[in-house]
């Protein structure tokens, strides 16, 4: 599986650790965003990188990290076809896949520690979409997108 990951400067350190974790599990990682943790880099640009990779098919799923996860998740969710889930724990990450078929996981380096972040990443990639009644709801999201995205 190919995973796109990007962050602003506030998510740089955690991004580096998540990349190592993903690569150790055999994922192909497309790394984007802040080139270092010291120079300012916008979460807008980082979110664009992840969302572009996922919508174009270059990546199967994505991970978006900023200070809180809020800004970057808002950017990602401006794309048609993106269901970016801002999560703060493993249960939320699991449910984002099972119930919402989320294709980008977002979180904040200033909000979660390394153990929680890696637990969310594992849950996000291990969990499958449940379909059924949840597919009806995801189809509803697509209908809203079709009405409001040009």
Contact (CB, 8 A) for 100 and 85: yes
**9 catalytic per annotation:** no
Is 66 a catalytic site residue?
A: yes
Instruction: Please list, in sequence order, all residues whose beta carbon lies within 8 angstroms of the beta carbon of residue 135, skipping any fewer than 6 positions away.
Output: 101, 129
Say which of 66, 76, 84, 87 is annotated catalytic: 66
| Distance (Å, whole) CA 41 – CA 12 | 10
Sheet holding 28-33, edge to edge: 28-33, 2-7, 61-66, 104-108, 84-86
The C-alpha atoms of residue 63 and residue 84 are separated, in whole angstroms, by 9
Which entry of 9, 76, 87, 99 is annotated as an active-site residue? 99
Q: Report the distance separating Cα 133 and Cα 111, nearest Å.
A: 32
Residues belonging to the active site: 66, 99
């Amino acid at each position: 599986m190919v995973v796109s990951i990007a962050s602003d400067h506030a998510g740089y350190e955690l991004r580096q650790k998540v990349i190592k974790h993903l690569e150790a599990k055999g994922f192909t990682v497309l790394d984007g965003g802040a080139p270092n943790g010291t120079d300012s880099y916008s979460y807008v640009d980082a979110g664009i990188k992840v969302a572009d990779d996922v919508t174009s098919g270059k990546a199967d799923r994505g991970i978006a990290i900023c200070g809180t996860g809020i800004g970057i998740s808002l950017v990602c969710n401006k794309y048609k076809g993106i269901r970016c889930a801002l999560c703060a724990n493993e249960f939320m990450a699991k449910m984002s896949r099972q119930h919402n078929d989320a294709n980008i996981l977002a979180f904040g380096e200033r909000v979660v520690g390394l153990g929680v972040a890696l637990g969310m990443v594992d849950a996000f990639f291990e969990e499958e979409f449940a379909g059924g009644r949840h597919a009806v709801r995801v189809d509803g999201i697509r209908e809203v997108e079709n009405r409001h995205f040009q």
